[in-house]
Amino acid sequence: MDNYWIWFFGDFEIYHSMKQNFSREERGYDWPAYWHTDTWNTNVKFIHSYDLDKEESFHVTSRAIGHVKMNGQKFPLNQNIKCSAGHVEIEIIAASMSVLPSVFITGDSIRSDGTWQVSNYLETIPAGFSSLYTDPAFYPDEICFSSETCEPKAINALSGGVLIDFGRMIDGHLNVSFKDDSAAFDLCFGESVAEATDIKWCYYKEEHYSNGKPIRKRAFRYVFIVTASMDDILSISATHQFVDVPVRSSFHSDNKELNKIWDVSVETYRLCSGLFFIDGIKRDRWIWSGDAYQSYFVNPYVFADKEIEERTILALRGNKEIQQHLNTIVDYSLLWVISIEKHMREYADTDFLKSLWPKITAMMAFCEAQKDENGFIIGRPDDWIFIDWAEMDKTGPICAEQVLLYAAYESMSYLCGVMQAENVYVEKSDALKKKINKYYWDDDKGAYIDSFQSGKRHITRHGNIFAVLFRIAGEQRTEQIIRNVLLNEDVAPITTPYFKFFELDALGQIGRFDLIWSQLFSYWGGMLQKGAVTFWEQYDPSVEGNEHYAMYGDPFGKSLCHAWSASPIYFIGRYLIGMQTLAPDSVSLDPHIEFLNQFECVLPIGKYIISFTMLNHKLTITTTMKRGKLYYKDKCYELCRDASLTLDL
Amino acid sequence: MDNYWIWFFGDFEIYHSMKQNFSREERGYDWPAYWHTDTWNTNVKFIHSYDLDKEESFHVTSRAIGHVKMNGQKFPLNQNIKCSAGHVEIEIIAASMSVLPSVFITGDSIRSDGTWQVSNYLETIPAGFSSLYTDPAFYPDEICFSSETCEPKAINALSGGVLIDFGRMIDGHLNVSFKDDSAAFDLCFGESVAEATDIKWCYYKEEHYSNGKPIRKRAFRYVFIVTASMDDILSISATHQFVDVPVRSSFHSDNKELNKIWDVSVETYRLCSGLFFIDGIKRDRWIWSGDAYQSYFVNPYVFADKEIEERTILALRGNKEIQQHLNTIVDYSLLWVISIEKHMREYADTDFLKSLWPKITAMMAFCEAQKDENGFIIGRPDDWIFIDWAEMDKTGPICAEQVLLYAAYESMSYLCGVMQAENVYVEKSDALKKKINKYYWDDDKGAYIDSFQSGKRHITRHGNIFAVLFRIAGEQRTEQIIRNVLLNEDVAPITTPYFKFFELDALGQIGRFDLIWSQLFSYWGGMLQKGAVTFWEQYDPSVEGNEHYAMYGDPFGKSLCHAWSASPIYFIGRYLIGMQTLAPDSVSLDPHIEFLNQFECVLPIGKYIISFTMLNHKLTITTTMKRGKLYYKDKCYELCRDASLTLDL
């Protein structure tokens, strides 16, 4: 019988996202995320009733203060309580100013699981729980890290000290001891040699470190021990910490470079996937809705882990009462809504959706309250209409934002269907689509303009890419967009990897796999040629040397291990292998043998996996699913655990 | 130049009220307050700009994580920062999941005080600060306790152990050591001998205490060391902890019993006044709006401390976004609004009012949203329409609640005047007064009925007492109420000390000082005769022996040191001495020499005091105020620091 730690649904994520978003460090100071931070409920009550056939004992483990109320009588926490046969009403009061108020209840029938209700004295809802927290001795205010000891790959004396290369990115603790207990050295960390050896500008520095002092958890590949010599060092290693979300896919083809791109993408992705999808391990270490949105696309091809998405969705959203857009960004709120449809289509967990529903509807109400007379969403003071770091005409309501609102309506329409809730979104999305096409489409230019209010009729790729991705344009206009924008070199190119994801996804949607293929090698292959062991926040082939590490006006401002750069996994999986989950037990397949004529690949589907072996135009498919369906071209094939399927392509 | 710890305005109170409301203990378990608990902002930003004549250094002390941003450049907290002459923009980022994010800034010009702004990334407001926190070495997440060592007044061997009597109530730590380090005894605490020696039913017990173990902070007068003999004890004392709000009044008359009632009231009041006005020191240790409301009336005659009221007002209210009535009780929300008028009339601090204003207006909006078609306030599901523990017809909107709403409108009207804000409340209060008189006044009974909806036309004292206190009835109807309700023994008597306060206040308003006088001796004098060293939550002369300690169906459920029982200070000060503050520098006086023909009394007024000496029908008045006004009968007298005033009464 399942037994879990339980808490106020959503609060685990609020609690730990705060830890996460407060963990950024730069040059000796801390940098908590610069947005409003919701707090967990410090005072809650867990509720359940049972009808017991016989007397039993139960035990409530908790670090909170409070008590157990059983049929009106009160007992302390953390002791055995005897309960007579018959009907029993249990309330567990738990409050804390520092830990997550949570309880673990063990007993024959009386046990903590998702059947408990929890109240914050405002509303009573099903309790939250996680498959990561099933041990009463391991409290949910701690993070369930696994760890791995990493030995240096190289130790070299430099003129100013000793440089240690771990040969890989580490997010954890450095362990170093010197022969002389009284010796003290500065330790400089770096994702690159240049950073570690730049004792002024490296991000992380431990000053005057001597044996036995604690060293803060950091992300690094290199450590430079300033003024030390090889002889000073007694031992050195690092403890990498990670939340063990298993990698359930693999990919191997006859193209070695492509294999490397896959592997380094997986490495990058794993590092940026802890309790939540974060942006990067050195910087920002924050949970950003736009970045997470892209991580959700990669997840089905690596972990297919439902819970990391749930945690990230909840962490981003915070408390039910919403007061600010996610990360202050209007588009990030809309992407959050859209992502829930994607999540549901992938994992179909209606219990989760039901629990999340009040937060979804509150989000939509929040967005609806900031529409103009045309029904277009606009920013309120202090809202950030981001879309991308690009020259864009942001006068009045802008096109790209409206397309996201349309997509959010479409997602809501789908979700209302799942929830069997009243659906006002079909009408809303139809009306908005018409308005967008009326106000933003420019017949002369054959494309959507950024803003109709300014009169400038400026065109960027962004709104047009979204229009393709979210199918707002209709066939004819989409053709025009492809010609006039997507494949038109006169329109300013996408310069950020954030939006490159959407662009490549749009190119995939219109079947331009050749462009995806070439980008994989020029962009990601380019980083590999520069020695990348994880993919960078951004790569510009035109810069030289240490310039690669600079960003935001900072010589080492660039994160060299950044989640959104792991997207080759998605592009390979979705567009080259061409597999897409349609339902928890069915996939569609459209492998592109013009690029990949020989590969072996394992991909997760739900709790199971599907394996593909491609050789000589024959694709052999096996699965651990008992039964499933595979759609290839216009046919549906039965998948079966006990037999492999071979297709002639 | 003043220098303070600063924080997000209101958060100090939210933080510490949580500590306070989570501190209740009963028989081995904790009992956090059973209402929704708002949390402090964990992530804030302090903002200030200066124009410096010359270079200076400043230092930011904080336990939070974050940094200092000065003209765009970032520095760690807790180190000296050099700042060039000229214009400087400073932002201090402070976040914490466990301590109150607060900073103390020291420098020549750059110093933390009320001129700083603070943002929670939703709104930017003036920072909060307190005169209790002016030392950078003493952090505002700690409580600024003073302490006092108390020696036992008596140690007696009983058959089952040793009983220690400290002769007074203590709220603090017991210090005990045994001669034998290996000895362990159970320690039972009690406000009464009966409680301490009842090893099963006493509220607080420390089991198996042996030398060196920490003992939890508790409220007690007696300690019973179970199974110990006098010889086992090496030493015993107690450390009483208190927030040192100075007592600035004294009262001494030729009536010894009255003097004792005053002194024991002051003792009771001080014990229940920490950072906040709480209800009782043993139980509940919570901040209740109704209880605090009565403490505000006593404050001018004991501490005249503005800040304890401000802290309590903020603690009760919580965050700006209001989701639940104070302590879940609709009337307590309304009393909170009314109390702010009282506070302003006493202390006239418009800065505080300005800072509080958004929380006041949000409260009014919250209340306004739950009115019926007549404009009467009604409870929503889970709201508590309390008024009093009494038989009352609570069908539909009830009278007493509407009178409080009317009083809240009247207070808002006054506060809008101070704020120079648009005032919609004159109209609202007029309309509501008419409606109340139309729907609730019963001409036959010559009184207000509880409910008009039930058709029962039931009368209780409560609505009628409020109608007198808040002057809703008009002269004629007030006369009828006095005759038909207040002085009518056929109407069910007030049985709770909570409402007895309002009743006696109403009797004072109608000039029935004789009834106040007799109540002082029968009710409070009665407790003294039972040996009370502090006044009890309730006193019923008709019960005997240990029955006095029982309440709520619990043999020791009664709190023997309860704030609302300190009200004799108010009744003596307000109605017998007859002093009332009219403005920070003026008082009215109406001493009742039929009761008090000889007394010396010191009372605070603002930062100053007024002393009265009454002898042989002559009242001599001195003050430390430079200048002030005293209204007596229909005359206004000038008060002056340098001269005493003598009135022939």
Which residue among A29, A121, A323 places its CB closest to the CB of B75?
Answer: A29
Test B35 with A66 for CB contact under 8 angstroms. Answer: no
Q: Give the model's pLDDT for residue A597.
A: 85
Residue of B nearest to A36 (CA): B121
Q: Give the model's pLDDT for residue B580.
A: 93
Q: Give the model's pLDDT for residue A59.
A: 98
Q: Using the predicted structure, report yes or no on whether residue B1 has a pLDDT greater than 80.
A: no
**Measured distance CA(A203)–CA(B114) in Å, rounded:** 35
**Measured distance CA(A445)–CA(A480) in Å, rounded:** 9
Q: Give the DSSP letter of residue A546.
A: G
Partner A contacted by B31 (CB < 8 A): yes
Cβ neighbors of B511 (< 8 A, separation 6 or more) are: none
Report percent pLDDT > 90 for chain B.
Answer: 97
Test A75 with B29 for CB contact under 8 angstroms. Answer: yes
**Residue A207: how many CB atoms within 10 A of its CB?**
11
Q: Give the model's pLDDT for residue A596.
A: 86
**Dihedrals phi, psi of A261, to nearest 5 degrees:** -60, -45
Best A30, A78, A217 member to test B by mutation, with max B CBs in 10 Å, is A30
Partner A contacted by B552 (CB < 8 A): no
B219 SS3 class? strand
Residue for token digits 């980008």? A519
Test A97 with B22 for CB contact under 8 angstroms. Answer: yes
Interface predicted TM-score of the whole assembly (ipTM), two decimals: 0.96
For chain B, the average pLDDT equals 96
- A177, A252, A95: which is closest to B17 by C-alpha? A95
Segment B576-594 shows an average pLDDT of 91
Q: Give the model's pLDDT for residue B606.
A: 86
Chain B residues in contact with A28 by the CB 8 A cut-off are 76
- A606, A609, A613: which is closest to A577 by C-alpha? A613
Residue of B nearest to A44 (CA): B36
**Residue A307: how many CB atoms within 10 A of its CB?**
16
Asked if B406 and B436 count as a contact pair (C-beta separation under 8 A), the reply is yes
Q: How far is CA B614 from CA B235, B252, B433, in A?
A: 47, 10, 42
Test B121 with A66 for CB contact under 8 angstroms. Answer: no
**Ranges under pLDDT 50 in chain A:** none
Q: Which residues pair with A118 in a beta bridge?
A: A46, A125
Q: What tens digit of pLDDT does each residue of B237-253 get? A: 999 999 999 999 999 99
Q: Which two tokens stand for residue A218?
A: 């950091």
- B238, B159, B234, B169: which is closest to B197 by C-alpha? B159
Instruction: Give the HSE-up count for residue A332: Cα atoms under 13 Å, Cβ half-sphere.
Output: 21
Residue of B nearest to A22 (CA): B95
**Measured distance CA(B155)–CA(B162) in Å, rounded:** 7
**Measured distance CA(A553)–CA(A558) in Å, rounded:** 10
Q: Which two tokens stand for residue A649?
A: 């392509």
Residue for token digits 């009830």? B398
Q: How far is CA B473 from CA A110, A512, B398, B484, in A?
A: 57, 83, 16, 13
Measured at the CA of A356, the angle between CA A353 and CA A357, to 5 degrees, comes to 80
First to last CA, chain B: 46
Q: What tens digit of pLDDT does each residue of B472-509 get? A: 999 999 999 999 999 999 999 998 989 999 999 999 99
- Which amino acid, B239? T
Q: Give the model's pLDDT for residue A584.
A: 83
**Measured distance CA(B11)–CA(A39) in Å, rounded:** 13
Q: Give the model's pLDDT for residue A593.
A: 85
Asked if A459 and A440 count as a contact pair (C-beta separation under 8 A), the reply is no
Residue B464 to chain A, least CA–CA distance (Å): 33
**Measured distance CA(B459)–CA(B483) in Å, rounded:** 13
Test B324 with A67 for CB contact under 8 angstroms. Answer: no
- A307, A303, A275: which is closest to A143 by C-alpha? A275
Cβ neighbors of A522 (< 8 A, separation 6 or more) are: A541
Test A41 with B37 for CB contact under 8 angstroms. Answer: yes
Q: How far is CA B475 from CA B365, B417, B469, B471, B511, in A?
A: 32, 26, 12, 9, 14
Chain B residues in contact with A43 by the CB 8 A cut-off are 18, 22, 32-33, 36-37
Test A19 with B76 for CB contact under 8 angstroms. Answer: no
Q: Using the predicted structure, report yes or no on whether residue B596 has a pLDDT greater than 90.
A: no
**Dihedrals phi, psi of B26, to nearest 5 degrees:** -145, 120
Test A36 with B328 for CB contact under 8 angstroms. Answer: no
Asked if A215 and A246 count as a contact pair (C-beta separation under 8 A), the reply is no
- Give the gyration radius of chain A's Cα atoms: 27
**Measured distance CA(B146)–CA(B150) in Å, rounded:** 13
- The burial of A184, by beta-carbon neighbours within 10 Å (0-12 exposed, 13-18 middle, 19 or more buried), is given as middle
With bands split at pLDDT 50, 70 and 90, how would you rate the model's confidence at B585? confident
Q: Which domains does chain B possess? A: 11-143 (2.60.120.260), 146-243 (2.60.120.260), 330-385+391-493 (1.50.10.10), 580-648 (2.60.420.10)
Asked if B469 and B335 count as a contact pair (C-beta separation under 8 A), the reply is no
B448 SS3 class? strand
Q: Using the predicted structure, report yes or no on whether residue B593 has a pLDDT greater than 90.
A: no
Q: Which residues pair with B148 in a beta bridge?
A: B240
**Measured distance CA(A565)–CA(A523) in Å, rounded:** 10
**Measured distance CA(A150)–CA(A168) in Å, rounded:** 9
Partner B contacted by A384 (CB < 8 A): no
Segment B185-195 shows an average pLDDT of 98
- B4, B16, B59: which is closest to B40 by C-alpha? B16
Instruction: List, as one string, the DSSP characters of B237-276.
Output: EEEEEEE------EEEES-HHHHHHHHHHHHHHHHTBSSS
Q: What tens digit of pLDDT does each residue of B534-554 get? A: 999 999 999 999 999 999 999
Q: What tens digit of pLDDT does each residue of B442-464 get? A: 999 999 999 999 999 999 999 99
Q: Using the predicted structure, report yes or no on whether residue B559 has a pLDDT greater than 90.
A: yes
Torsional class of B552: left (φ above 0), alpha (ψ -120 to 50), beta (otherwise): left
From chain A residues 103-122, the ones with a CB under 8 A of any chain B CB are 120-122
